[in-house]
Amino acid sequence: MTAATAPRFVRADGPDKVTGSGRYTADLTLTGMLAAKFRYAEIAHARIIRLDVSAARAMPGVFAVLTADDVPDVRFGPFVQDRTLFARDVVRYEGEVVAAVAAVNATVAQQAVDAIVVEYEPLPPITDLEAALAGDSLLVHEGWAAYGAGDPVVRDRNDASFSSITKGDVDAGFAEADHVVSSRYVADGCHAAPIEPRAVLAQWEGNKVTIWTSTQVPFDARAGVCETLEMPASRVRIIVPHLGGGFGGKCGFHYEAHIAALAKAAKRPVRLVFSRREEFFAPDRRREGMIIDVQTGVRSDGTITARKAWIAIDNGAYTTDAGFFSQLAAMHVSGPYKIPNVHIDSHLVYTNLQPSGSVRAPTAPQACWALESHTDEVAKAVGMDPVAFRKLNAVDTGDIGPSGQTYGEIGVQRCIDEATALVDYGQPLPDDEAIGVAIGWWPSFSVPSGAYLKIDGDGSAQIITGAQECGTGAVMTLRQLAADELGMNAEDFELVYQDTSVAPYDMGATGSQTLFNNGRAVVAAAGQVAEQLRSLAAEFLEAAPADIVLADGHAHVAGSPTSTVSIAELAGIAAGGELLIGHGSGAPPAAPALVGSSCVGDLGMAAFVAPQFSCHAVRVRLDRDTGVVRVMEVGTAHDSGTIINEMGALGQVEGGVMMGIGQALTEGAQYDAEGHQRNTGLLEYKLQTCADSPVIRTTFVQIVTPNAGPRGAKGLAEAPNVATAAAISNAIAKLVGQPVRQLPMTAERVWKAMQS
């Protein structure tokens, strides 16, 4: 499938973005607006002995200085309530906010920040995952046991959230094996790195606050403000202007409450705009580092008999939305394979590093990289081609997964065939080139969502939704779905979105959920309006409503194309009576049943609703003198259910592949022994660019999936990020002679692997 087969129409936000006329949060100004700056801990672990802001408060041009003493003493967190707005008594990572300043401009605000006196008693930074789990380790949170936590989060000391999956008898499974292969892989953390730095602007009117913010999840941001500032939702409005990327890094609740509190204290609007350095080291959303030990038992014929794994995930200093990552990682390390005996233990570990969070497909690229690299090792142990080994062991329709889920019709086997065909797998290659293959999976997140739809008297239409647009494609796909239901053109619809006081609830641009959930809501709302149009047309055309067909902007009687009336004319008729308004909230699909397994710390990821499957095949070239790897060609095949907008889907795959190449080869957060991040700029943090882009060929295995998204669609945005690094790893291993066991697989690490 190519972009040439895709429907083309102008994105609603396209002209503003390409002409530069679109306004992002950092572009907004209000009369009397002040600039905000933060005082950060700048130390990874310490007790606060003295915090003196008096000099800063006395400076000319400073309107407000806030610390923990100036806001409610509220602990918050979606899984573990382990955090406060400002540091209290202890700082736990270098980017933690100790104080906030609002001043006439950014220069004065920074001078005031520099005038704040903080005296610390340094504490040993905890940065080693295995040491942190030891029974005699120092604690990142001495009072962890008193923190509130959701059920059934399992916690113990520095283990913030423990999960396990057990199926069958793993010891008996290893006893049946002819070969047992053990591997260890270590992945560095990395960043979402959106080009737009985050920004927040807050203004009070009486006892209500409006906050413009660069968030992917406005309703979550509103909930955070309400909780930490102890306000009702009716007094907090979140608006998102154009959003310049997020990739999960702008999920969750960040600095909206800090800026709202500053604006209230200053009695003026206040705006925060991050520098690039702040964007790297301060926010509580980076991709988590991981250690993965995996062991697989296999018969000589290639049949897997057992899998055992131990996983440690770097949670960082606070849990944020990472509470379910331990279970999610366990699912990805078990993988989409038929394995009768499984035991996986997974730990989310507190450290004194930047908190981790929902960066695109959290835990999946690292876990898939480790598992699929290990899978090639297992195939090699039994003398099988790695593609044939996957075909033998990957799940198929009717199979039972690692946690006891029985799969309906799925396309992973077809994905393997089609992705490998796209790169001519098995054909001769030069000595410095190889093709690696990996398969991956990802859930479709099933959550509530809502939408309104109305047709005005002139025939124009509006969709009012809580969905976000930071690359999700919501501006295209939701309009397409509504247009198809109503027999109109996608261009006829205006999308009103990204405003919590206007739209119904939506989880936001996270979890690849927008089309999957909000798409159902839009279809339901459009369906109500369609029924109203049929009733109006039936009266106008003297026919039964059931005989009315909506198509090409008209309503006509089936079998009588000349008996017709335009939808615009019907809308004009309705404007004098009952208005054409619909609402929808597609009921979230239920999670599949699990049979024959047990899960400790089950936080909703033990079963994958409408699971997506993919196979990536990557051809790479290796410079043996330097260890530099160049990705030359990528073939991807995705089972993401029905594809609603092919052009948008292709864009998601290509963007995910490029992000995966960066994670594979160049992107990694580097820390020194004291917990300070060393590469907090785009010069040191090596993103991929257009010049690095290989040929990317994509096909979609379109299987209509019941109990899923609209028309049998699944999610798609995160899945292309899952298997890319793993496929690159397997190609490198063929050229080097062994896997490179640390991610990213930089030129230096590849070169060292060649020497050993």
Give just the sign of the alpha carbon dihedral 295, 297, 300, 303.
negative
User: What percent of the chain stands above pLDDT 70?
Assistant: 98
Using only the alpha carbons of the chain, give its radius of gyration: 27
Q: Count H helices and E strands in the chain, helices first.
A: 18, 28
Would you call the peptide bond into 545 cis, given omega within 30 degrees of 0 as the criterion?
no
Tens of pLDDT, residue by residue over 45-65, are 999 999 999 999 999 999 999
DSSP conformation letters of 24-69? BGGG---TT-EEEEEEE--SSSEEEEEEE-HHHHHSTTEEEEE-GG
Encoding tokens for residue 557? 């009687």
Strands 199-205 and 304-316: unpaired
E-assigned strand segments in 420-492: 433-442, 451-455, 461-465
CA distance 307 to 352: 32
Model confidence, pTM: 0.96
pLDDT bucket at 3, cuts 50 / 70 / 90: very low
pLDDT of 6 strictly over 60: no
Measured CA to CA, the distance from residue 450 to residue 756 in angstroms comes to 57
Q: What's residue 1's pLDDT? A: 38
Mean pLDDT across 648-668: 96
Q: Tokens standing for 441?
A: 């999976």
- Residue 5 reports pLDDT greater than 60: no
Most confident of the following: 172-176, 403-407, 595-599? 172-176
Q: Residue type for 19, please?
A: T
- 3-state SS, 154-218, equals CCECCEEEEEEEEECCHHHHHHHCCEEEEEEEEECCECCCCCCCCEEEEEEECCEEEEEECCCCH
pLDDT at 562: 85
Six-digit token string for 363: 């835990």
**Residue linked to tokens 């279970």:** 327
**Mean pLDDT for the stretch of residues 542-565:** 93
Q: Looking at this protein, which amino acid is placed at residue 437?
A: V
* Residue 35: C-alpha distances to residues 42, 153, 201, 266 (Å): 21, 39, 9, 11
Sign of CA dihedral 522, 523, 525, 529: positive
Residue pointed to by tokens 């206040």: 270
pLDDT digits (tens, 9 = 90+) for 126-154: 999 999 999 999 999 999 999 999 989 99
Tokens of 192: 């979402």
- Report the pLDDT value the prediction gives residue 577, as an integer from 0 to 100: 66
Neighbours of 119 (CB within 10 A): 11
Report the C-alpha gap between 437 and 426 in whole angstroms: 11
Estimate to the nearest angstrom the gap between the alpha carbon of 337 and the chain centroid: 24
- pLDDT computed for residue 34 by the predictor: 98
Positive/negative CA dihedral, 59, 65, 70, 75: negative
Structural contact between residues 341 and 328, judged by C-beta atoms closer than 8 angstroms: no
554-557 vs 560-566, strand pairing mode: antiparallel
Which residues have CB under 8 Å from 187's CB, separation 6+? 289, 290, 291, 292, 366, 369, 370, 742, 743
pLDDT of 614-649, one tens digit each? Answer: 999 999 999 999 999 999 999 999 999 999 999 999
Per-residue pLDDT reduced to its tens digit, 468-525: 888 888 888 999 999 999 999 999 999 999 999 999 999 999 999 999 999 999 999 9
With bands split at pLDDT 50, 70 and 90, how would you rate the model's confidence at 561?
confident
- Segment 328-348 shows an average pLDDT of 97
Task: Give the percent of the chain with pLDDT over 90.
Answer: 91
Assign 528 a pLDDT band (cuts: 50, 70, 90): very high
| pLDDT of 155 strictly over 60 | yes
pLDDT, position 2: 36
Catalogue all structural domains in the chain, each as residue range(s) with its CATH number. 14-123+198-273 (3.90.1170.50), 359-445+606-755 (3.30.365.10), 451-584 (3.30.365.10)
